Structure 1
Amino acid sequence: MTKETLKIEGMSCENCVHHVTEVLKSVAGVKSAKVSLKKNEAVVKYDDETSVDAMRAAVAQAGYKVI
């Protein structure tokens, strides 16, 4: 299991946090996603086969930006 912290731009409320959490959890191999509005980041735990690029693409498709 691997852990990655993604800095995310564009979240402004708890609904955004929930949306980003659900989007990240929908990526194949993601085991958990803890999203913080205060820190503008997501801490994601995932299988070694899972691509960070896939997580970034899912967040971007949801309307947010990984920086």
Structure 2
Amino acid sequence: MKASELRAKDVAGLEKEVSDLLKAHFGLRMQKATQQLNNHSQLGKTRRDIARAKTILAEKKKEAAK
């Protein structure tokens, strides 16, 4: 997911996005553990998406606190 798409969302939308990404990442980790994961690059992509969403969420919360 692109940062511009995330910046268009509000705080509640970003929090939902982070939780969805964490669930997806957990599913990928379980697939890897059971050797069902074919595309291992998905793990890194979801981890970076989580970091991107959390960063934008923190920026929005900091901006709202001002």
TM (norm. structure 2) is 0.35
Larger radius of gyration: 2
Larger helix proportion of the pair: 2
| Structure number with higher relative contact order (C-alpha < 8 Å, ≥ 6 residues apart) | 2
